[in-house]
Amino acid sequence: MATLTETSSHTTLIVGAHGTVGSALSPLLTARGHRIRRATSRTPQAADDVHLNLLTGEGLSTALTGVDHAFLMAPPGHLNQDVLLAPVIDAARAQGVTRVVLMSAMGANADEQAPLRKAERHLQASGLAWNVIRPNWFMQNFNTFWLQGIRQQGQIFLPVGQARGSFIDARDIAAVAATLLTTDTHADAEFDLTGAEALDHDQVAAILSTVTGRTIGYTDVTPDAMRPGLLAAGLPADYAEFLLTILGYFKAGYAERTTDAVQRITGRAPIGFEEYARDYRESWA
């Protein structure tokens, strides 16, 4: 199929624009000649920011006015993703948006009753040109969510045993999304996104140790030992339980599978964990 004309005539709304994936996606689309509209639930700070609160629907019509394509994701910390995303998909169709890429999560399609799966199905039935991308666990979790233990105690504390994960760099997720938003080649398809190799957390700790010059280890903890830290970090109790549940799936081996989707869509191999670690070295200093 033909590639879309990549000109400034296309305006793309990025939900989660200031997050890990969205902040990497914006410059990629700009480089391809697309106008960017960055949705934020906070007070807009930049000329291309637009206020959008998915929890209340406030700002939805304004955010989508004049938009051609949209990148959607659910706000973190909420489990009713279908309730939050379905109105955005419906409004996108009503406003004349022609293409939507939805970021879900690897494994969401294992249960047809899972809220994220319901959101995927809603998009697929919408009549819009669509893609669903389901990334595995982010490499960037090690310089964000799991950072405190590494910095303060030199340990990755997780209840995942010796299971391996095919961690993906968020910059690869953004590169995939940029291609899907600007070309027709992979229209109306869903992709599980992973890195090229699966590592256990002892291997991750060894790479971080080599790159930082620090001694970093991995300690397998119980879900009960991890729960207080999640709650102390401000996670809602139901979301903390959800996180512990999906970490249980990791421990059971469900995060180990690798796919070639990043290579097929972007034309290059995924970023390896060592490259990620070198790029983010200062995080663990």
Asked if 100 and 130 count as a contact pair (C-beta separation under 8 A), the reply is yes
Within 10 angstroms of residue 140's Cβ, the number of other Cβ atoms is 22
Per-domain residue ranges of the chain: 11-136+169-194+257-270
> In whole angstroms, what separates CA 262 from the centre of its chain?
14
Q: Quote the pTM value.
A: 0.95
Tell whether domain 11-136+169-194+257-270 is in CATH 3.40.50.720: yes
Asked if 52 and 60 count as a contact pair (C-beta separation under 8 A), the reply is yes
Q: What are 22-52's pLDDT values in tens digits?
A: 999 999 999 999 999 999 988 888 899 999 9
Q: What is residue 168's three-state secondary structure?
A: strand
195's tokens: 């890195």
Which of 200, 180, 193 is closest to 138 using CA atoms?
A: 193
The identity of residue 101, as a single letter, is V
Asked if 151 and 213 count as a contact pair (C-beta separation under 8 A), the reply is no
The identity of residue 62, as a single letter, is T
The identity of residue 135, as a single letter, is P
Q: In a 10 Å sphere around its CB, with 0-12 CB exposed, 13-18 middle and 19+ buried, how is residue 99 labelled?
A: buried
Asked if 204 and 274 count as a contact pair (C-beta separation under 8 A), the reply is no
In residues, how long is the chain? 285
Residue with tokens 């639930």: 41
List the pLDDT tens digit at each of the 285 positions of the chain: 334 444 446 999 999 999 999 999 999 999 999 999 999 988 888 899 999 999 999 999 999 999 999 999 999 999 999 999 999 999 999 999 999 999 999 999 999 999 999 999 999 999 999 999 999 999 999 999 999 999 999 999 999 999 999 999 999 999 999 999 999 999 999 999 999 999 999 999 999 999 999 999 999 999 999 999 999 989 999 999 999 999 999 999 999 999 999 999 999 999 999 999 999 999 998
DSSP tag of 12: E
CA 211 to CA 6: how far, in whole Å?
A: 39
